[in-house]
Amino acid sequence: MTRLERTTGDMQKITTYLWFDNQAEEAAEFYTSLFADSRILDVQRYGEGGRGPVGQAMMVSFELAGQRYLALNGGPQFTFTEAISLYVDCTSQEEVDDLWAKLTDGGEESQCGWLKDRYGLSWQIVPRALQELMSVPDPAAAQRVVQAMLGMQKIDIKGLEDAAKGVS
């Protein structure tokens, strides 16, 4: 049994693998500080003759809200793009606001609930109310919600609710 198997138990079938230049451990520590049921599972470090400095994290295994991820310090050859993002289902405006503030610190805001964190990883911070309001039986109300969302960076639930009601 490997050290990782002893630490994590059975591996999940599909795990998101994130390539960092040299910030894998720092990013994993940051991400695990944001979500309940999150933790660093294992850190494998470079030794003599490795691609990174001796002692630097090579691979970090961690969980975010119970979902496993692997982070590699692989060097600057590859960077993140918006083609892949982590979608966070938020239950309240407070959760949206808190995650938005923490993830955009050193990162950048985009639109429609999207942002890039300080490591360049894209996230979608989306209140559950958005899907609910876009699924209302009234197509005109749903369209107003979509139009309101398109004009937002961080999603604002009250603004979506007002749009659904036709309130300007």
Q: List the CATH number of the domain containing 56.
A: 3.30.720.100
Specify whether the CB–CB gap between 81 and 13 falls below 8 A: no
102 and 69 inside one domain? no
In a domain, 151, yes or no: yes
In a domain, 61, yes or no: yes
In a domain, 78, yes or no: no
In a domain, 80, yes or no: no
Q: Which pLDDT score is estimated for 6? A: 45
62 and 94 inside one domain? no
- How far lies 163's CA from each of 7, 94, 125, in Å? 48, 20, 19
Q: Which pLDDT score is estimated for 134? A: 96
94 and 42 inside one domain? no
In a domain, 90, yes or no: yes
Average pLDDT over residues 144-167: 97
Q: Which pLDDT score is estimated for 1? A: 40
In a domain, 60, yes or no: yes
15 and 69 inside one domain? yes
Closest among 87, 82, 111 to 99, alpha carbons compared: 87
Predicted model pTM: 0.90
Backbone torsions φ then ψ of 95, nearest 5 degrees: -65, -45
Average pLDDT over residues 85-104: 98
Average pLDDT over residues 152-163: 98
Identify the domain containing residue 153 by its residue range: 85-165
| CATH number of the domain bearing residue 117 | 3.10.180.10
115 and 157 inside one domain? yes
64 and 93 inside one domain? no
Per-residue pLDDT tens digits for 21-78: 999 999 999 999 999 999 999 999 999 988 889 999 999 999 999 999 999 999 999 9
59 and 99 inside one domain? no
In a domain, 92, yes or no: yes
DSSP class of residue 111 equals: S
How many structural domains does the chain have? 2
95 and 161 inside one domain? yes
Q: Which pLDDT score is estimated for 11? A: 72
- How confident is the prediction for the chain on average, in pLDDT? 94
